[in-house]
Amino acid sequence: MNESIQLSCVVWYRAADYAEVKALMVDRHRLPATYARWLLQATATEERLTAEGDVVFRAVLTPGAFRAFCADHDRAPDAEARDEFAMRAALLAYREGGHVTLYRSAGLR
């Protein structure tokens, strides 16, 4: 039997980075005002996706890693770039069998 899975990549922030990450984004108005509010929304999204049968990958986005990613790919720091960052992090983690938290040290290209 060939079973397929649905992988959902979710950008994940650390509490200590949230204010800096938010300030970095050109679409910061789309992000919740506080980390606590973001965490509630992100957790609810993760729970919904899991309930739907998806496997959820948390792509930890740090300010430095995301700046480097956007510079290397000539991208504006926005939702589209965040999604691409998450997808590339998941792909790299799948290839290496581990968890990715840093862009440059992990070779995310």
**What's residue 93's pLDDT?**
81
Cβ contact 49:56 at 8 Å: yes
Question: β-strands 7-12, 55-60: how paired?
Answer: parallel
Task: Say if CB 34 and CB 74 are below 8 A apart.
Answer: no
Determine contact, residues 104/85, Cβ cutoff 8 Å.
Answer: no
User: How much is the average pLDDT of 16-45?
Assistant: 97
pLDDT in tens, 46-88: 999 999 988 889 999 999 999 999 999 999 999 999 999 999 9
Residue 98: the pLDDT is: 57
Would you call 58 helix, strand, or coil by DSSP? Answer: strand
Amino acid at 43: T
- What percent of the chain shows pLDDT beyond 90? 68
pLDDT of residue 109: 39
Check residue 54 and give its pLDDT: 87
